[in-house]
């Protein structure tokens, strides 16, 4: 038997671990791979095999984030020429995270619809569309660079807000499913 409440709780905690980024020097205190592993475990409890496979893959790919500091856009020279590869790596992780979030929320929307929770499903669909749009803008903005400047900062703040909104949406699924 699958435990929806516990599975979604583990997914929530895993996403919080991924969202919160606390570093001391070059060591990430809450590494992303731990968060993605928790997400994978929660997805296993929900019997979401495709999504679980994605989460496991991202956990493996994100393991180096425990040791590799994020690119500092304000001081790219501080990375001695590795700025481009560092930025490319983190942008790739951002794309994978976006795909994983899309897969999870899309699957939860289908489950909500199958249980007659059409209002919750529509609300989630709207939030997911906004999240995907903002995330793509932020990812493209980071690749373009400083050209977008102020708009990129606003979009980044909005992206963080949308991450939190999707966490709230998952908590709502946890209550109704």
Q: How does pLDDT run across 49-87, given as a tens digit for each residue? A: 999 999 999 999 999 877 766 655 444 444 455 666 777
List the domain range (segments joined by +) for residue 141: 4-176
Backbone torsion region of residue 3, taken as left when φ is above 0, otherwise alpha when ψ lies between -120 and 50, otherwise beta: beta
**Beta pairing partners, 24:** 27
Q: What is the mean pLDDT of the chain?
A: 85
Those residues whose C-beta lies under 8 Å from the C-beta of residue 120, and which sit 6 or more positions away, are: 112, 172, 173, 176
What are the helix and strand counts (H, E) for the chain?
6, 2
Type and span of the H or E element at 24: strand 23-24
How many domains does the chain contain in total?
1
What pLDDT, on the 0 to 100 scale, is given for residue 74? 46
**Beta pairing partners, 23:** 28
- The 10s digit of each residue's pLDDT in 128-166 is 999 999 999 888 877 666 555 667 778 888 889 999 999
pTM of the model: 0.83
Share of the chain above pLDDT 90, in %: 55
Cα 6 off chain centre by: 19
């Amino acid at each position: 038997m699958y435990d929806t409440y516990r599975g979604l709780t583990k997914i929530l905690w895993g996403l919080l671990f991924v969202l919160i980024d606390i570093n001391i020097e070059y060591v990430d205190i809450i590494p992303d791979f731990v968060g993605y592993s928790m997400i994978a475990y929660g997805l296993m409890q929900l019997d979401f095999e495709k999504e679980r496979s994605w989460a496991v893959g991202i956990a493996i790919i994100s393991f180096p984030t425990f040791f590799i500091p994020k690119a500092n856009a304000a001081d790219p020279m501080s990375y001695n020429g590795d700025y481009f590869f560092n930025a490319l790596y983190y942008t790739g992780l951002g794309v994978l995270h976006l795909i994983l979030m899309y897969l999870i929320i899309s699957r939860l929307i289908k489950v909500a619809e199958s249980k007659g929770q059409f209002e919750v499903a529509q609300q989630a669909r709207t939030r997911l569309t906004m999240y995907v749009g903002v995330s793509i803008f932020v990812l493209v903005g980071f690749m373009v660079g400083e050209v977008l400047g102020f708009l990129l900062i606003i979009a980044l703040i909005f992206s963080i807000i949308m991450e939190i909104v999707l966490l709230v949406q998952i908590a709502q699924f946890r209550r109704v499913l």
